[in-house]
Structures are given as structure tokens and as C-alpha cells.
């Protein structure tokens, strides 16, 4: 009887152990499933959610979207329809005499930049430069001009011709913005003329952005300021560099270009015992571009010869106009200057 009781106890223990094992297996399976959901499925669902919850509203809401803009000279904030804002930026940033496809490209770039600023402001707040609105009407963001300002600046005749053309460009691309790998392009930068080749973003600014790569800008023959000479006396050069950067030992033998970027702009320049960036030199002497060469007129003057106008990153406006004249459409222009983007 004792043996049988012992066997019964062993059978019960085995049964309980099997039950516990099965429960443990179920718990482990559930835990593994939760880990797979958390590590794999949840990120995919969140990505799909945010892609569907962020990007489409920028398109679906395009007819009713409003832009809050700080008017710097007036010191007040105004609310505008998106396409009214876009047209005002195109009028402020590009000549109406440019080809329609170039104006369309500018409209898409302006719309993308404006909406990207709105999205960033919603996440991180407005800039200290214009804390009451995500955008301002100056070069700090994009130059915007109202119809009243344009009438006063350009006259009624231009309003019936140039303004009409710009409005057509904005309306023809209404709601269209640029994306890179499914994300809204945040920095659709542009400049007047590159001098033949644009710049990688990190060679001019801080961040390396995949869509702001150096590309050829072949159709800039009509651009102004292609080879502009600026003469600066050696005494003035020495004084400004010394006061700004504390340089010494400045003479014709200690002033030279050390390196250039992929786009051809000066990266480093020796000035006495200091090494300056091309951007530093451009800003210090008011040059149109950091794409410059230097020569000496005797021993008293430095001759800067600049090529292009602006920082050189993103779309060249004169290059865009040249491409339009060659038959390229606005999407082809944008996809040339902003690598890997789609326009939707």
C-alpha cells in the first residue's frame, strides 16, 4: 500500500510538472510574440501610421491650408492661403521673365520649404527671429511680397503680366511638394547662380543631406556675375582680417587658397597666420560667391574674381531657367538639383 501510494504521488507530480511545462511554454510563446510585435510589427505599424498621418494631410488639406507669416517691417503676423503665400514667394525670389517651367520649379521649392518650416515649428516651436509665426517674409526664411507691395514696386502693368504668369505657375503646381524616401524635404535650398556646379550641403553649411549633392549646372550662360572682379587693397584686407580673426603677418606671400570643395568653392584660405573658410572671406568682403580666385595687382591690391551668386547649394535659379529653355520640365529640373526626390 505504501508503494502504491508512492507511485500515485509520483504520477501526480509528473502530471503537475507537465502542466507547469505547458504553462511555461505558453508564457514563453506569448513573451516571444510580444517581443516580435514590439521589435518588428510595432515599428512597421508606427511607420505606416505616421506616413499616413503626416504626409497625406499635406496634400489632402492643400486647398484649405493656411500659412501664418510674420511681416517683419510691419511687426505683425498675418494668415494667408498657402497658394497666395507661394505666389508671393516666387514673385519675391525669381524674375517673372523666367521660363514657366523654371517658375513652376521655384513654386514647388517655395511650397516645400514653407510647409517644412510649419511642420518643424509644430514639433520644436518657432524661431526666435519670429517667435509668433513659423515663417517670416525675409531672406531668413523666404522673401514674400504681397500684391499691394508688388503693385507699388513694379507697377500695374507688371501685375497684369508678370504677376499673372507667377500665379499661373503656382496654380499649375498647386499642392505639390518634394519628398525624399517618403519624408518631406526640409531644406529645398536655392540660389541665384552656381557658376557651373552646385555644392554639397556640408561643404557650405553643417549637415550633409542626401538630396543636396554637388551637380553640374550646365545652362547658366545668361546668368549675370559670371566673372566679377573685386579689388581690395592689401591694407584693407589686412585690417579687416586682423580685426575679425586676429591674424598677423599678412602680406602677398601669406595670402593663398589652400583647398576647394567638390563644387569649386574655396574651402580654406590662408591669411597670414590664420586659415579662413571661403565663406568667411565671402562674408567679410561682400563677395557674391565663395567660388573665387585671387590675384595681386602689384603689391598693393588683391583682385577677387568671383563666379556665380549665392551659397551654391540646391537649385540654381539661372540654371533652372536655362534647363527650361532647353526643354526640361519643372519636375526634371527639381530632380536634377535635388537628388532622389519625388514631386507629389
pLDDT for 37? 45
CA distance 320 to 192: 10
Q: What is the pLDDT of residue 65?
A: 85
Phi first, then psi: what are they for 133, rounded to 5°? -155, 155
N-terminal to C-terminal alpha carbon distance within the chain: 85
The per-residue pLDDT for 63 is: 56
d(CA 322, CA 121): 35
Q: CA dihedral in degrees (76, 82, 83, 88; nearest 10)?
A: 30
Using alpha carbons, select from 199, 202, 191 the residue that is nearest to residue 216.
199
DSSP 107-162: HHHHHHHHHHHHHHHHHH---GGGTTSSEESSTTS-----HHHHHHHH-HHHIIII
Give the pLDDT score at 13. Answer: 45
pLDDT at res. 226: 86
- So what's the pLDDT on residue 41? 45
Distance CA(288)–CA(227), nearest Å, equals 10
- As averages over each run of 10 residues, the pLDDT of the chain (344 residues) reads 47 48 53 48 40 42 80 95 97 98 98 95 90 95 97 97 98 97 96 96 93 97 92 96 96 95 96 96 96 90 96 97 98 98 97
Amino acid at each position: 500500500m505504501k508503494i502504491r501510494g508512492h507511485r500515485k504521488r509520483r504520477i501526480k507530480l509528473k502530471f503537475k510538472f507537465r502542466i507547469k511545462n505547458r504553462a511555461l511554454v505558453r508564457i514563453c510563446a506569448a513573451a516571444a510574440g510580444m517581443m516580435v510585435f514590439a521589435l518588428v510589427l510595432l515599428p512597421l505599424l508606427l511607420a505606416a501610421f505616421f506616413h499616413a498621418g503626416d504626409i497625406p494631410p499635406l496634400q489632402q488639406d492643400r486647398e484649405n491650408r493656411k500659412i501664418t507669416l510674420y511681416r517683419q517691417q510691419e511687426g505683425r503676423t498675418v494668415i494667408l492661403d498657402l497658394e497666395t503665400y507661394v505666389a508671393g514667394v516666387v514673385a519675391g525670389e525669381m524674375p517673372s521673365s523666367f521660363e514657366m517651367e523654371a517658375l513652376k520649379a521655384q513654386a514647388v521649392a517655395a511650397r516645400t520649404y514653407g510647409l517644412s518650416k510649419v511642420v518643424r515649428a509644430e514639433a520644436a516651436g518657432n524661431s526666435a527671429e519670429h517667435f509668433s509665426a513659423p515663417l517670416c517674409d525675409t531672406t531668413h526664411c523666404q522673401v514674400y511680397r504681397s500684391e499691394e507691395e508688388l503693385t507699388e514696386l513694379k507697377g500695374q502693368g507688371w501685375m497684369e503680366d508678370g504677376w499673372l504668369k507667377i500665379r499661373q505657375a503656382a496654380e499649375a503646381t498647386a499642392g505639390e511638394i518634394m519628398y525624399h524616401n517618403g519624408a518631406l524635404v526640409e531644406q529645398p535650398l536655392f540660389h541665384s547662380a552656381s557658376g557651373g556646379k552646385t555644392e554639397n550641403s556640408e561643404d557650405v553649411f553643417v549637415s550633409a543631406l542626401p538630396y543636396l549633392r554637388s551637380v553640374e549646372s550646365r545652362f547658366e550662360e545668361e546668368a549675370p556675375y559670371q566673372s566679377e572682379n573685386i579689388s581690395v587693397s592689401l591694407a584693407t584686407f589686412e585690417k579687416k582680417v586682423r580685426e575679425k580673426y586676429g591674424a598677423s603677418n599678412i602680406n602677398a606671400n601669406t595670402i593663398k587658397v589652400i583647398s576647394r570643395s567638390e563644387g569649386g568653392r574655396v574651402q580654406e584660405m590662408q591669411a597670414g597666420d590664420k586659415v579662413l573658410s571661403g565663406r568667411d572671406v565671402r562674408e567679410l568682403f561682400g563677395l557674391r560667391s565663395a567660388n573665387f580666385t585671387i590675384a595681386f595687382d602689384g603689391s598693393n591690391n588683391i583682385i577677387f574674381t568671383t563666379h556665380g551668386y549665392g551659397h551654391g547649394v540646391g537649385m540654381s535659379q539661372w540654371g533652372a531657367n536655362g534647363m527650361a529653355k532647353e526643354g526640361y520640365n519643372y519636375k526634371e529640373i527639381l530632380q536634377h538639383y535635388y537628388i532622389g526626390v519625388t514631386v507629389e
